[in-house]
A and B are shown apart, each in its own frame.
Chain A
Amino acid sequence: MAAQSNGRRQTTYQFCSRYGEGNRQVEWVRYFLVACILSASALVIPTRADDEKDSIASGTVASPTLVRSVVEASLTQHIAPPTRQQVIADLLRFVGDKLGYPLSRDLSAEVSTMSNVDELHRYAESKLNECEFFAAKNNADLLMGGLQKSFGEAIRLVPRKEQLVNEQIAANRYVGIGIQVAQLNSRMKVMSVFPGGTSDSAGMKAGDVIESIDGVETKEVPLSTSIERLRGAEGTFALVSVRSAESGEVREMKIERKVVPFKTIEEKASDNLPDNFRRYKILRITASTVNDLTALIEELPASVDSIVLDLSSAECSATAIGLHNAHLLADALLDEGSLGLLESRMSSRTLRSEPGNILRGRQFIVVYKPTSDGLVDWLAITLHSYGQLVYYETDPRLGGRHGFGLIEPDTPIFTSGVGVFDSVAVNEDYFVELTTTRLRLRDEATGKRSFGQTVTDFESLIRKPKSIESR
């Protein structure tokens, strides 16, 4: 089934899972980050209990049809799928173990004799019934766990609503009422209000408590459930009852849901940089980042001839849409050339950059942290391979190294590339998210390159533009 149904990429915003590896902890972190950093209308700081109640992968798989759809979609779209027999055998064994119904030791042998797709799924259905899988609580988690056994990575079931939110985030067109919230003492507290947003206009302040949404109380209600009530289509309204932190007065507010654009770039002014430098910190690579960066560069006076592009904390999900956005940014920064090889199950193609860039003759220095997201690594290494000066910094807690060049060559990106996730629709309600493509570095990037020849002091170097030019 095609991954795109309405022209937008049906992809899920995803953090972590660097190079395609994932685990349960990563799953939690992802949820935390998605909720905290990106949902803008709701900065959720969930308790562990919240997380368990509303795990992203939770839900009920009530029908054999859905199991079949998920398995088949995964087999069709994964970059290197195992055999159908192996997937079904692993799934059944995992489910059986978890539900306390150890299945026959002959299961693998039985499955391997079946080549007919219908026959295999009928067999799976009978075994799942035997385990009472369809009656089990949170059986979607079981299904995903079973699939991970054969696919060996974080494979996820994504509800359509979450898919929509993820698309909005990747497009930097998140629709909300413009607040960040947390649950404190079972109450929904406003942590910050987006300046100029509709909640700001309505008079909401940080510290206020939201007592009800559309007449439904928020007290003791899981935060994610309340957040869900706050969400809605652009142009619709949420009726919220808000207790003021200052006066204690409760007010009813009718607040419109609107697009809440995130800042994707921050201009760092306190660097003691020479006048001919500007430092831009890329916060996240979304569909708007190229537009935002271009707008900043357009306003630069001609005397500014050098730009420090700080990717050290940039976020870019290793998803198909994240890759597309990173590709657009690489194209904006570089002139014509190859950017890497994108391999899928059926084919491979070279990602390219078009002629021209938005820097118009200005030099730029890339700052990155090798522990950043896979696609940010790819971007930094690709820029380096085109002769751009790259400065790296590692986490001080991990021994803190820094210098010009790249981090050590055993970084996985040099050997296996970046695994890129995509979401594949399985039915009207769900998508399954898994690795569909892999991005490898361009040949020149894996060949001649310089690794961590540290020492040189970044600050002193950038104060001497000539020495940079000579490198």
Chain B
Amino acid sequence: MICYFRCALVVIRCALAVLGMGSGTWIAFQSRVACAEDSSTGELQLRRPSAVLATSDGSQVLIASTTNATLISTDLERNRNRKLHVPAPVVDMVWLQADSSLLAITAEPASLLQVYCDASHRDTKSVSIASQPAKLAINGGGTGGNYAAITSTWDQSVLIVQLDADGLHSKSMMTRVPLDFPPKEIICIGETQFLVADAFGGSLAVIDAKTGTVIASHQINGHHIGGLVCDRASSSVLLTHQRLSKIAETSFDDVHWGTLMQNLITQIPLPSLLQSSDKLASTARQYRLGKPGHGCADPSSIVAWNDGRFAVAIAGTDEVALGRLGNHSFQFVSVGAKPTKLMHVGTERLLCVNELDDSVSMLSVADRLDVVGTLGMQRTEILPAGQGERDFYSGRLSHDGWMSCSSCHIDGFTPDLVVDTFGDGRFGNAKRIPSLFDVTATGPWGWDGSKKSLAEQIDSTLRSTMRLDAIDGEETDEHGITASLIAFLESQDRNRRRDRNDDEVQLGAAVFQARECSKCHNPESRFTSAEVYDVAVSDEYGLQKFNPPALSQLKLRRAFFHDGRFKSLDDLLRNHPTMNADFEQQELEQLKAYLQSL
């Protein structure tokens, strides 16, 4: 009975959330959920921690998890843990009022919570939001800001939620700000300005929460922006990202010397960010992470202190690096698997969330960088898919740790860059990085369709793209790694929810059939087929027959075709070399609507 009631509530929330999608809508739904607590002592049981906060005196740590609908509050002095039950697993959280209340976002169902963690025992407030959230930021820096900004990668938008003195209230105004890129990381960089970064590529946008508009857009020379921090002392923003060279190739030499994949921290002065300009590159300063012998795959979260120091979590090599502005040398220390979130506690301590290690590392940054403790226990039994997930995000699978699978196939998707791999047995013919969505069911593999099994494709990638030689100096169990990666990729394959299926989409489906798109992109086979087709466009070696990619999340894609020559769906459909592109405008819009719904 209770279950039915809860389901009904969720349905109502979703319906209201859909109604609330429009820009500048007053959303009138708010629920209150009791925040139950229980306490324990001893070893902390964490599962996939996602975010961490500390009280201002550093005595207590609050940890969120993406698998449990609880926040764990740990009293570090008394070694006592307290569970705060919340309506759903928390993806990200920030202090609203330091030490007393926080804002958190949950993915299933998508909601924004205000959780009280002081002694007031007030109920958690919850507001449904329309789209699956990724990251959260507020202005005011934990002193009761008046705007919360939530990124939604797959909705390609930022949701601005207006707060009042008590935080969330029954008529919180929500404004959806659409973007022309899929966002993820977000920080506040001014009174009401938020900087939002591309989840896959190198786009940046500055949003003014007061007006709900994008006030500046930028493009950095890079991709996979993993972390942002506003350094007030230097009046600049530091961002971590990668850069994949279009000129370098995946030869051993270019991987070894860090020419192919660079892992970078870029420092951009705030004034340069606040207005659109093509001079961003000339004002930015860069710090390279890694050197031959020690790559630093997938730099992610970054924090900065007022004295010029900054720390970076390096998700691919399970390390934290400590550096100083103006200096290009770093101290490194090993932490748990996939560190993705840092939080500094005062000037001398640092917390690091190890997402795939079920732990939070406590680090000292006083004299030298050091791990001084760990919260949580290491998982003792790891299933193949879990091991595969670790491998997918691990730079140890590449020579010297320069890149992980996720450096190019970010979270399984694609930044749509081209890279000159040895996939077809030669260099000099760069190809677009494909999305891995549905990859296990969409053979053959490789742009030329030469790999008859996914294992063969993965083996080839490990050897000739990532230049895997040995892991920690030991002979690699390549077969085991491949099997684990396949298990992980299989666990990710699913029929993704389509966010629209209206008349226009239906009409577009008819166009798709009528134009014989389905001959190569068969809807029954996840929009691909097990053949290669002549696309009437040769690569550098004269190859014209290519493997049709599965079609998924096309609305977020920025380049199409094997060499990425088409930069939009419009461009592709109007210039497709083997399709009759003589579309009526209406027909084109219908077909686009259908493709964008996939």
Residues of A within 8 A of B (CB): 2-4, 7-9, 170-173, 287-288, 290-291, 294-295, 298-299, 324, 327-328, 331, 346-347, 349, 352-356, 360-361
Instruction: Report Cα–Cα, A37/B574, bound state, in Å.
Output: 56
Instruction: Report Cα–Cα, A356/B288, bound state, in Å.
Output: 15
B22 within 8 A of A: no
Classify chain B: how many residues form its interface, as a range: 20 to 34
A7-B464, A346-B542 given; A298·B258 CB < 8 A: no
**Candidates B221, B252, B254, B285; contact of A354 at CB < 8 Å:** B221
CB <8 Å contact, A8 and B245: no
Q: CB-CB < 8 A to A8: which residues of B?
A: 251-253
Residues of B within 8 A of A (CB): 221, 245-254, 256-259, 281-282, 285-288, 291-292, 328, 422, 425-427, 463-464, 467, 540-542
CB <8 Å contact, A355 and B259: no
CB <8 Å contact, A356 and B426: no
CB <8 Å contact, B257 and A7: no
Residue in A closest to B243 when the chains form the complex, CB atoms:
A356
- Taking the nearest CB of chain B, how far is it from the CB of A305, in angstroms? 13
The total of Cβ contacts below 8 Å across the A-B interface reads: 78
The 8 nearest A-B residue pairs measured at CB: A287-B253, A171-B253, A356-B221, A298-B328, A7-B422, A291-B257, A7-B464, A288-B257
Instruction: Report Cα–Cα, A361/B284, bound state, in Å.
Output: 10
CB <8 Å contact, B540 and A7: no
A7-B252, A299-B328, A328-B247 given; A291·B258 CB < 8 A: yes
Q: CB-CB < 8 A to B246: which residues of A?
A: 352, 354
CB <8 Å contact, A287 and B250: no
CB <8 Å contact, A347 and B252: no
- Taking the nearest CB of chain A, how far is it from the CB of B387, in angstroms? 27
Q: CB-CB < 8 A to B292: which residues of A?
A: 288, 291
CB <8 Å contact, B256 and A171: yes
- Taking the nearest CB of chain A, how far is it from the CB of B295, in angstroms? 12
Residue in A closest to B422 when the chains form the complex, CB atoms:
A7
* 19 interchain pairs, CB-CB under 8 A: A2-B425, A7-B464, A8-B251, A9-B427, A170-B253, A171-B252, A287-B254, A288-B292, A291-B257, A291-B259, A298-B287, A298-B328, A324-B249, A328-B248, A331-B247, A354-B221, A354-B245, A354-B246, A355-B221
Instruction: Report Cα–Cα, A2/B253, bound state, in Å.
Output: 19
Beyond A4-B426, A347-B540, A355-B281, 7 additional contacts (C-beta under 8 Å) are A4-B427, A7-B463, A8-B253, A295-B328, A324-B249, A352-B246, A353-B247
CB <8 Å contact, A356 and B281: yes
**Candidates B257, B467, B542; contact of A290 at CB < 8 Å:** B257
Q: CB-CB < 8 A to B245: which residues of A?
A: 328, 331, 354
Residue in A closest to B221 when the chains form the complex, CB atoms:
A356
**Candidates A2, A7, A347, A352; contact of B542 at CB < 8 Å:** A347
Instruction: Report Cα–Cα, A404/B500, bound state, in Å.
Output: 64
Instruction: Report Cα–Cα, A288/B257, bound state, in Å.
Output: 6
Q: CB-CB < 8 A to A171: which residues of B?
A: 252-253, 256-257
A9-B427, A346-B542, A354-B221 given; A361·B250 CB < 8 A: no
CB <8 Å contact, B259 and A328: yes
**Candidates B247, B248, B251, B259; contact of A9 at CB < 8 Å:** B251
CB <8 Å contact, A287 and B259: yes
Instruction: Report Cα–Cα, A9/B542, bound state, in Å.
Output: 20
Residue in B closest to A9 when the chains form the complex, CB atoms:
B251
CB <8 Å contact, A361 and B282: yes
Q: CB-CB < 8 A to A287: which residues of B?
A: 253-254, 256-257, 259
- Taking the nearest CB of chain A, how far is it from the CB of B220, in angstroms? 9
Q: CB-CB < 8 A to B254: which residues of A?
A: 287, 328
Residue in A closest to B220 when the chains form the complex, CB atoms:
A356
Residue in B closest to A358 when the chains form the complex, CB atoms:
B286
Instruction: Report Cα–Cα, A299/B328, bound state, in Å.
Output: 7
- Taking the nearest CB of chain A, how far is it from the CB of B277, in angstroms? 14
Interface centre among A170, A171, A352, by most B CB within 10 Å?
Answer: A171
Instruction: Report Cα–Cα, A299/B285, bound state, in Å.
Output: 12
A287-B259, A356-B221 given; A7·B281 CB < 8 A: no
- Taking the nearest CB of chain A, how far is it from the CB of B427, in angstroms? 6
Instruction: Report Cα–Cα, A294/B259, bound state, in Å.
Output: 11
Q: CB-CB < 8 A to A360: which residues of B?
A: 282, 285-286
- Taking the nearest CB of chain A, how far is it from the CB of B202, in angstroms? 10
Q: CB-CB < 8 A to B287: which residues of A?
A: 298
Instruction: Report Cα–Cα, A331/B542, bound state, in Å.
Output: 26
CB <8 Å contact, B221 and A7: no
Q: CB-CB < 8 A to B464: which residues of A?
A: 7
